[in-house]
Chain A
Amino acid sequence: MAKTILIRIVRMVTLIIGLSILTFWLIHISPMDPVNAYVGGDSSASPEQIEKIREYWGIDKSPAEQYFSWARSLLQGNFGISKLYRSPVISIIKSRAMTSFALMGTAWVLSGSLGYLLGVVSAMNRGKPLDKVIKWYSYTLVSTPIFWLGLILLIVFAVWLRWFPVGLAAPAGVLDSEVLFIDRVRHFVLPALTLSILGVANIAMHTREKMIDILNTEYVLFAKARGESKWQIFINHGFRNSIIPAISLQFAYFGELFGGSVLAEQVFAYPGLGSTLTTAGLKGDIPLLMGIILISSLFVFMGNFIADILNMVVDPRIKGDG
């Protein structure tokens, strides 16, 4: 167990090194000139100014030099200064990460539990109208782009019905000290809902398949023969066997969750890591981009890591020694 964890950690470190080199290299070969991205197409910047900007961004140095100076300061725990915001990368990430993680956390729990429930119900009622409805719902959602769904929810609930606000994380013109918790919840609902609804489809369909496999096994047949009810079969045999794949799937879903939150945040003008990532990428703000990429890859890696550990703990067969 300890050995496996150690191997995973080594893998994580190499992953991050590889990823950071890849990102740096990709930015370097992209046709984007950070200075042009920064000053814009019709700026009145003088050549002296452009020279200063070059110096300030450090792009007068070779890419290798740039990478090593970045990596060196990262080892000292310094993520660098965002060129665009002109403040430390770590403080920008901190201020935005909480909103993103709250959003993703809620969506993760909601989509996981609802998806699992729907999957189980669907499998237990295989072939019946309820199963068909759930399948139809899942297939429709899985082929729906998240930003489109977000826009639909926005139009219906914010513009037509006016139940929820159109965007942002707090009401307009109200001081932080006066913002009620319920206000924050109202602003939170639509983006979280958008993100949750899509996650449901994935987990529901996988759970359904797994559950059907279980229901076709001989031990379930035997249980039926003994006269166990549907509920008993689920509790005694179905739950433990189907929850493990569901949980590992849900942890592995971290990556898609992050990608989805980038889009959902754009649609709802919800200030999180996703919208910051987009700005940093488009404007060529390398330190900020690298910072967010590192944090998000750590996040996705942790998801997979937890899934593995959980599997080991729950299922003795995986433990092994290799």
Chain B
Amino acid sequence: MDKTKKYMPWKRAMSLCMVMIASVGFAVAGCSSSSAQTPSPSSAQPLDEPNTPSQAAPKKEELILAVGKTDTGVFDPKKGWGTHAQIRLTHSSLLRIDSDMNFVPDLAKSYEVSEDALTWTFPLRDDVKFSDGNPVTAEDVKFTYEMLKEDGVKFDLSFMQSIDAKDKSTIVITLKEPRSTFVSQLTEIGIVPKDLYDDNYSNNPVGSGPYKVIQYNDGQQIIMEYNEYWYGTVPQFKRLTLLLLAEDAALAAAKAGEADIVYVPPTFADQNIEGMTLLNFESIDSRGISMPTQRSGGKGKINENDVNVGNDVTSDLAIRKALSAGLSRDSIIDIALDGYGQKAFSLCDYLPWFNTETVIQDGNIEEAKRILAEGGWVDTDNDGVVEKDGLKAEFNLLFSSSDQLRSDMSLAAADLAQAFGIKINAIGMTWDEIYVKGKENAVMWGGGRHHPHQLYTMYHSSVINRGYENLTHYTNPIVDEYLDKAMQAPTQDEANKYWKLAQWDGQTGFGTLGDIPIIWLARVDHLYLANEKLDVGKQPIHSHGHEWALFGNITEWTWAD
């Protein structure tokens, strides 16, 4: 009895202390905003939102998104705004890409390419205005392109001869050489106002997109509001807040109910958050193994460095064919991407310029063995690795050691290739080392864009020794001819025809049925955790760079109440 009494004051002090701590906590939370009461389970409204409409409001008009960081180059094309499809919220461009990957009019009413594919003419819409109410004219377009060409750092327009405003609403662009892939840049370059543009444009970004930037807090958030001069479909959401958070912080924000949609890497995809679902979008962000196609002993350049070229094992067609048929792309995707990926057979799977004939049955070990035996590769000394004329089927596969995905994929491929007698030594190093050794060894390579230009730079023989283009030194005159014709084509349909023929024309090509200088393996899915009420419409196949790939169709997004 005495004992309990003695301890009473201590206990009382303790509980008093606890109450005080708790009340301070609640006081801090309570002061911040009106909506900081305990959230009811049905409403997933962010805690931090004094401006969210009350439950009675008919439609949700604000979205909070955390889809990645964008530390650099905000809102200014000269600083790189647009290189990763960022512009759709804030700017408009001559053309845009629709959900089915067609190039459709935006600022330009249509476009016309001359017979020699050198002159491109664009009649412009005359009802488009910047968010400050001034009209978008041909002069603004001319100014934007000339400014970017002169700068030359973020956008490569060096092939452009001239750009002229024929009249107030017609733009004529003349090229130095035919380039059908120019069409993609027309979708990436956001038009800026000539009269307002200066070095300070980032702080005062006036564009003609559906939203205007009303506040940008460096490294924290971007707040955008509907642009009343927008000429397209009126979006449901009148205000967007983009949180510039890294992946872990974005996941925490989703868990705390502070964001409506967040980007997640595959490792976070199995996280269960109440009220949120996983959205999974196919992308064209592809990874594959580049295989030197020349025999060893050659010399060449990567980025102006003198390097050795060629590898006796990878230059044998049977080896490349066996790997393409024998490696199970699904297994690699399961190991490296937790299953969140798609098989890749080319650099352009299921885009309008993809040759569907090149889809093959993969993971076929018997077939791989048969191809090797036919090519003269047999395991004579029973060590599990096949040989031909005393040469073992063994090569190095280099990958960037700072890239978890490429490292996992390389190790998985090496593991799987053992089953049919090819020994791959996966070696991690820095990109700078890879750019020295990459032409005499296989490399875990990558690519994939919303345009076919990379098909030219990865497979045409004329770009050998330029930068790190055509890393495999692939040379096939027939493929070269198709690629040239594709570049010179005046219409996209005709260009697509030749892009497809270059992959496989029935006899040859760089695709899986032909020479396969690069064995494409997987496409990375883009994953988002989104509030289940949010509908992001029909998304096109995503391009490289996940942050802004989502916003191409922002005006179609809806919220189910």
Contact with B along A44-88 (1 / 0, CB 8 A): 111111101100100000000000000000000000000011110
CA distance in complex: A47, B62 (Å): 43
B535 interfacial contact with A, CB 8 Å: no
CA distance in complex: A183, B223 (Å): 17
- Closest-CB distance, B471 to chain A (whole angstroms): 11
Cβ < 8 Å to A, chain B residues 203-252: 214-215, 217-221, 223, 239, 241, 243-246, 249, 252
A50-B239 in contact (CB<8A): no
Select A172's contact among B48, B202, B255, B466, beta carbons within 8 Å. B48
A48-B217 in contact (CB<8A): no
Select B32's contact among A158, A168, A183, A276, beta carbons within 8 Å. A183
CA distance in complex: A165, B221 (Å): 14
B28-A86 in contact (CB<8A): no
A175 interfacial contact with B, CB 8 Å: yes
B62-A48 in contact (CB<8A): no
State the total of A-B contacts with C-beta under 8 angstroms: 167
Of the A-B pairs whose beta carbons lie under 8 Å apart in the complex, a sample of 12, sorted by A's number, is A42-B447, A87-B202, A163-B29, A165-B256, A168-B220, A168-B245, A172-B64, A173-B223, A173-B241, A175-B223, A176-B217, A182-B28
CB-defined contacts of B280 to chain A, threshold 8 Å: none
- Closest-CB distance, A217 to chain B (whole angstroms): 34
CB-defined contacts of A45 to chain B, threshold 8 Å: 156, 467
Which A residue sits closest to B445, measured CB to CB? Answer: A42
CB-defined contacts of B257 to chain A, threshold 8 Å: 162
B249-A174 in contact (CB<8A): no
Contact with B along A22-39 (1 / 0, CB 8 A): 000000000111001000
B33-A171 in contact (CB<8A): yes
Which A residue sits closest to B243, measured CB to CB? Answer: A172
A31-B430, A182-B28, A182-B32 are contacts. A166–B258 as well, Cβ < 8 Å?
A: yes
B270 interfacial contact with A, CB 8 Å: no
B19 interfacial contact with A, CB 8 Å: no
Which B residue sits closest to A176, measured CB to CB? Answer: B215
A95 interfacial contact with B, CB 8 Å: yes
Cβ < 8 Å to B, chain A residues 92-108: 92, 95-96
CB-defined contacts of B29 to chain A, threshold 8 Å: 162-164, 186
A269 interfacial contact with B, CB 8 Å: yes
B432 interfacial contact with A, CB 8 Å: yes
B241-A172 in contact (CB<8A): yes
Known: A96-B219, A173-B49. 20 other contacts (CB 8 A): A36-B435, A42-B544, A44-B447, A44-B453, A86-B73, A86-B76, A154-B252, A155-B252, A159-B256, A162-B257, A166-B252, A167-B252, A168-B221, A170-B221, A171-B50, A172-B49, A173-B239, A182-B32, A186-B29, A189-B28
Cβ < 8 Å to B, chain A residues 210-260: none
Q: How many residues of B contact A (CB 8 A)?
A: 68
CA distance in complex: A130, B470 (Å): 71
- Closest-CB distance, A10 to chain B (whole angstroms): 37
B51 interfacial contact with A, CB 8 Å: yes
A321 interfacial contact with B, CB 8 Å: no
A167-B253, A174-B48, A185-B28 are contacts. A44–B432 as well, Cβ < 8 Å?
A: no
- Closest-CB distance, A26 to chain B (whole angstroms): 16
Which interface residue of A41, A169, A172 has the most chain B CB atoms within 10 A? A172
B449 interfacial contact with A, CB 8 Å: yes
B28-A159 in contact (CB<8A): no
CA distance in complex: A269, B431 (Å): 28
CA distance in complex: A167, B221 (Å): 11
CA distance in complex: A271, B453 (Å): 38
CB-defined contacts of B33 to chain A, threshold 8 Å: 171, 183
Which interface residue of A31, A33, A44, A166 has the most chain B CB atoms within 10 A? A166
CA distance in complex: A172, B76 (Å): 23
A182-B214 in contact (CB<8A): no
B392 interfacial contact with A, CB 8 Å: no
A31-B433, A85-B71 are contacts. A271–B544 as well, Cβ < 8 Å?
A: no
CB-defined contacts of B158 to chain A, threshold 8 Å: 46, 48-49
A44-B449 in contact (CB<8A): yes
Select B246's contact among A185, A189, A269, beta carbons within 8 Å. A269
Select A180's contact among B32, B400, B544, beta carbons within 8 Å. B32
CB-defined contacts of A52 to chain B, threshold 8 Å: 152-153
B1 interfacial contact with A, CB 8 Å: no
A49-B152, A84-B71, A158-B252 are contacts. A163–B28 as well, Cβ < 8 Å?
A: yes
Q: What 10 A-B pairs come out closest when comparing CB atoms? A: A271-B219, A173-B241, A171-B48, A42-B446, A166-B252, A269-B249, A47-B467, A52-B152, A46-B156, A49-B156
A41-B152 in contact (CB<8A): no
CB-defined contacts of A47 to chain B, threshold 8 Å: 466-467, 469
B residues sitting closer than 8 Å to A (CB atoms) are 25-26, 28-29, 31-33, 46-51, 62, 64, 71-73, 76, 78-79, 152-153, 156, 158, 202, 214-215, 217-221, 223, 239, 241, 243-246, 249, 252-253, 255-259, 303, 400, 403, 430-433, 435, 445-449, 453-454, 457, 466-467, 469, 544
A residues sitting closer than 8 Å to B (CB atoms) are 31-33, 36, 41-42, 44-50, 52-53, 56, 84-87, 92, 95-96, 154-155, 158-159, 161-176, 178, 180, 182-183, 185-186, 189, 266-269, 271, 275-276, 279
B400-A170 in contact (CB<8A): no
Which interface residue of A56, A85, A92 has the most chain B CB atoms within 10 A? A85
A172-B219 in contact (CB<8A): no
- Closest-CB distance, A186 to chain B (whole angstroms): 5
- Closest-CB distance, A159 to chain B (whole angstroms): 5
CB-defined contacts of A164 to chain B, threshold 8 Å: 28-29
CB-defined contacts of B152 to chain A, threshold 8 Å: 48-49, 52
Which B residue sits closest to A151, measured CB to CB? Answer: B248
- Closest-CB distance, A264 to chain B (whole angstroms): 12
B47-A48 in contact (CB<8A): no
Which B residue sits closest to A182, measured CB to CB? Answer: B31
CB-defined contacts of B400 to chain A, threshold 8 Å: 41
- Closest-CB distance, A81 to chain B (whole angstroms): 10
Which interface residue of A56, A167, A189 has the most chain B CB atoms within 10 A? A167
B32-A44 in contact (CB<8A): no
A172-B258 in contact (CB<8A): yes
A173-B51 in contact (CB<8A): yes
CB-defined contacts of B431 to chain A, threshold 8 Å: 33, 36, 41
Select A175's contact among B46, B215, B259, beta carbons within 8 Å. B215
CA distance in complex: A131, B525 (Å): 56
Select B25's contact among A163, A169, A268, beta carbons within 8 Å. A163
Which A residue sits closest to B241, measured CB to CB? Answer: A173
A31-B433, A85-B72, A95-B218 are contacts. A178–B28 as well, Cβ < 8 Å?
A: no
CA distance in complex: A56, B544 (Å): 25
CA distance in complex: A36, B46 (Å): 39
CA distance in complex: A56, B78 (Å): 13
A32-B432, A41-B403 are contacts. A174–B252 as well, Cβ < 8 Å?
A: no
CA distance in complex: A173, B28 (Å): 20
CB-defined contacts of A269 to chain B, threshold 8 Å: 219-220, 244-246, 249
CB-defined contacts of A84 to chain B, threshold 8 Å: 71-72
- Closest-CB distance, B65 to chain A (whole angstroms): 10
CB-defined contacts of A266 to chain B, threshold 8 Å: 246
B256-A166 in contact (CB<8A): yes
CB-defined contacts of B258 to chain A, threshold 8 Å: 165-166, 172
A44-B71 in contact (CB<8A): no
CB-defined contacts of B62 to chain A, threshold 8 Å: 173
- Closest-CB distance, B99 to chain A (whole angstroms): 23
CB-defined contacts of A169 to chain B, threshold 8 Å: 217, 220
A36-B432, A45-B156, A182-B31 are contacts. A167–B245 as well, Cβ < 8 Å?
A: yes
B223-A86 in contact (CB<8A): no
CA distance in complex: A173, B47 (Å): 11
Which B residue sits closest to A276, measured CB to CB? Answer: B219
CA distance in complex: A167, B218 (Å): 14
CB-defined contacts of B246 to chain A, threshold 8 Å: 266, 269
Which A residue sits closest to B444, measured CB to CB? Answer: A41
CB-defined contacts of A56 to chain B, threshold 8 Å: 153
B217-A271 in contact (CB<8A): yes
